[in-house]
Amino acid sequence: MTLPVRHRTAVPSWGPFREFEELYDRMGRLLSGGFPPSGELAESGMWSPLADIEESDDGYAVDLELPGVGKDQIMIEAMESQLIVRGEVEEKERKGVLRQQSRRYGRFAYRWSLPADADTDNITAELADGVLGVRIPKTENAKRRRRVKIKG
């Protein structure tokens, strides 16, 4: 099932590889929507929650939509340069006839390849209002980088 993608145009950002990153993301969405899922998620019947990833000068913020999930139902790991979030959404017991179901239940997993400048020893997470916020700070060396102004 293909989901709509929200494009943000509020703050234009430029980088030498920005267009390549956008093309890579678009191709990934195209391929994931056109072919059946494969790998760990397909074999186990898992699903992947919707997520936003934001980079700032001091780190990365990953926000995952997990409505109805308690913090005791989530496991977060940083291993082999990957952030892995796993858990399970339990289906609530129904007393009446279920006429429509569009919420996802069962086991879920989310993986993200961590950048080289991610400080995996100081990752923090907070669950509020159905959104899991994972904060990954950058290493001190990455924070010290500055842009050099060109004169002339």
CATH code of the region 45-93+101-143:
2.60.40.790
The rounded radius of gyration (Å) of the Cα atoms in the chain is 19
Strand order in the sheet with 59-65: 51-55, 59-65, 131-137, 124-128
pLDDT of 125 higher than 90: yes
In this prediction, residue 149 carries a pLDDT of 83
- Domain locations in the chain as residue ranges: 45-93+101-143
pTM for this predicted structure: 0.64
pLDDT of 148 higher than 60: yes
User: Do 74 and 87 meet the contact criterion of CB atoms below 8 Å apart?
Assistant: yes
